[in-house]
Structure 1
Amino acid sequence: MCSQEHALQRLRRAAICGAFTVRMARDAGYSRAAIRHRQECGYWQPVVGKAYCDPRWAARFPALQTRAAAATLTWPGVVLCLRTAALLHGFRAPDDGQAHVITEGSRRTTGGVVPHRMGISPGEVTHRGPLAVTTRARTALDCLMDFPRSDAESLMIWVRTREVLTATDLEEAIAARQGHRGVSQLRSLTALTADGALSELEHRLHQLLREAGITGWIANAPVRVGGRIIARADVLFPAANVILEADGREYHQDFEADRRRLNSLTLAGYVVLRLTWRQVTEDPQVVIQQVREALAS
């Protein structure tokens, strides 16, 4: 095996999620001329920061992981945070194509690696493979405080329905972060969900039920069958096995997953009424009549 092949094998082993630096290439045995040639010919492509990847073997990894690894290679010791951490955890969050990291000291954005100076404790850091990432709860709180309002509202619904954060977690975070940037938004989002409603449509549905004198329901309730949670109901009437779904937001699962969920609820004996914004706001009496009929059946 020639020296270039040896260098290639060493670099592939050293790369993290397909990402590597020029220094790593030099340590693997590539000459400066060989490195420059691969950069100029596009064999090695920039990721973010100071890192590169060879698309032929970086394709084994999700692009997000390669980007995140590139950030940690650019600034060793950083912790991935905010949008980057949210996406790594599988949260529903828009991808801005950058890599967000918590750093010590003062640094400037470098080739798509965005530094953030935030305090963090060891208990707020976890690992996804070789990558240091803020925990799910810490990530959710940071994003709720940092995201634009509309993105933050969607994320609040997502994390609350999946119990990433509880109401107690939110109240404690507000108390601990008094005076921090974004805490007013966190407080406002928490107030909106205090009664269990996780969207404006759910608020209106709850109000409609109260005005009609319909009781015996629980908001944002887990549905358990055989000790296993099979769904989370926007409104659950546990004594009647009736569920009301407020279909006004995009946070619900994709079509196939939603069909499986509805099938599971039907097989478990639940009646599910799916209510739209138009029905709740324009035909409230029809909604109430349907709810009463479902409860009486």
Structure 2
Amino acid sequence: MTRPLSVLVEPVRIEPDRASVALAPYPPHSSDTQVALPVDDANGLIGAPAMLRPMDRRDREAAEHRLRKAKVLHVFTLAMAAQAGLTRAVIRVKVDRGVWRHVVGAAYVEQVPPTLDPVRLRAAGAALTWPKGVICLRTAALLHGMPVTDDHLAHVLVSQHHRPGRGLMPHYFPAADVRRVLSFRVTGRRATAIDCLALMPLAEAERLMAWVRTREILTVAELRRAVDEWPGRPGVAQLRRLLADTSDGALSAAERRLHQILRDAGIRGWQADQPIIVAGRIVARADVLFAEAKLIVEVDGREAHADFEAERVRLNTLSLAGYTVLRFTWHQIVDRPWFVRAQIEAALRNATR
């Protein structure tokens, strides 16, 4: 699901890094949890008599109102709750009873609208816990709408050593492009794609490579520039491999096998990974295009054609523009290459009539 990133919010008025926060292990509301509350010696929040006494209703409602105004995407820290004026006793009850639910790091949430993206919650919680960090890798990729696996962690670029845990995963490589989005900082779309291609497991990186290339998010030139500019960066060897594997336009193992079938059969006049432009806009990218015959050959993958409605529109647009589209499965390309060859040759013959 694509997550638009255009809406900005005001910065948090209560600075979370003014207090150090020690939190109980997750889940925070288990019966054996001992909640360690914020410590801020400058303001005397913990240990002061006012923090230990029960609150009357009016004071509690006023403090809760201040906390609501300070929340970021419904997310807050215990330090923010204390700074808003809630007492230690009230905070302890809310955590122990599960009224406040842990998100990541020092961040909690009370009531979450069902439509709110959990990835954004984790990103907001990470920013409140490590205010100088930058959301990166899988977390940034999901925010940018890329089809990567959600590992339910918040991946954060930091400049100083941080211990991983409580849903946070620190990283230490350089940030090439940083954008301010909502209440947190995140690596830009192209930088995020390059980082993921370099550092994710190879099989997942190959799938992402096909996705970003077919959507014009990254070009071959940009990938080569990233490799040349940071020769010692983590994952550069994997980037070189991905570049080598896709240098001829084949973006997957299935496409490489399709190219081999065409070469072995001596079929010429085709190009790989070509944009199809109709009425001045790119409506598709062909795995293999025979431009003169207006023949498109595609290798079907579930991820590439997962949106049924959009796929019908795309195919109809190509048909109305005069293109013939042949689609083959991995099984057909691997186990029945003669069938694939015969179908393509028949389509080429029909195009010359």
- What TM-score do the two structures reach when normalised by structure 1? 0.92
Partner of 1:18: 74
Deviation at 1:24, TM superposition (A): 1.4
In the alignment, does 2:262 pair up with 1:209?
yes
The code of the aligned residue for 2:243 comes to: T
Partner of 2:188: 135
Partner of 2:133: 78
| Residue from 81, 86, 89 that aligns with 2:144 | 89
Task: Please give the per-residue CA displacement for 1:210-244, whole angstroms capped at 9, x wherever unaligned.
Answer: 23232222211111111111111111222222111
Deviation at 1:40, TM superposition (A): 0.8
The alignment covers a number of residue pairs equal to 294
**Separation in 2 of the partners of 1:266 and 1:127?**
42
Residues 188 and 165 of structure 1, relative CA distance in 2, 3 Å threshold: same
Higher relative CO (CA 8 A, sep ≥ 6), structure 1 or 2? 2
Moved more, 267-276 or 98-107: 267-276
Identity %: 50
Partner of 2:33: none
Residues 12 and 269 of structure 1, relative CA distance in 2, 3 Å threshold: farther
Over the residues paired in the alignment, what is the CA RMSD in angstroms? 1.8
Partner of 1:180: 233
Moved more, 187-196 or 154-163: 154-163
Partner of 1:286: 339
**Separation in 1 of the partners of 2:165 and 2:128?**
12
| Residue from 32, 35, 42 that aligns with 2:98 | 42
In the alignment, does 2:161 pair up with 1:112?
no
| Residue from 111, 114, 117 that aligns with 1:62 | 117
Task: Please give the per-residue CA displacement for 1:184-231, whole angstroms capped at 9, x wherever unaligned.
Answer: 111111110000000111111112222323222221111111111111
**Structure 2 SS opposite 1:2:** helix
8 Å CA contact 1:18–1:58 kept in 2: the answer is no
Partner of 1:162: 215
Partner of 2:297: 244
Deviation at 1:47, TM superposition (A): 0.4
**Separation in 1 of the partners of 2:295 and 2:84?**
64
Deviation at 1:280, TM superposition (A): 2.2
**Structure 1 or 2: larger helix share?**
1
Residues 130 and 195 of structure 1, relative CA distance in 2, 3 Å threshold: same
Deviation at 1:60, TM superposition (A): 5.0
Partner of 1:198: 251
Deviation at 1:248, TM superposition (A): 4.5
- 1:251-266 residue pairs with structure 2 within 5 A? 251-266=304-319
> Which has the larger Rg?
2
The code of the aligned residue for 1:255 comes to: F
- What TM-score do the two structures reach when normalised by structure 2? 0.78
Partner of 1:103: 158
Moved more, 27-36 or 93-102: 27-36
Unpaired runs of 5+ residues, structure 1, are none
Moved more, 279-288 or 239-248: 279-288
Deviation at 1:5, TM superposition (A): 2.8
The code of the aligned residue for 1:178 comes to: P
Deviation at 1:252, TM superposition (A): 3.5
Task: Please give the per-residue CA displacement for 1:16-48, whole angstroms capped at 9, x wherever unaligned.
Answer: 112101121122232221111111111100000
Moved more, 92-101 or 103-112: 103-112
The code of the aligned residue for 1:63 comes to: P
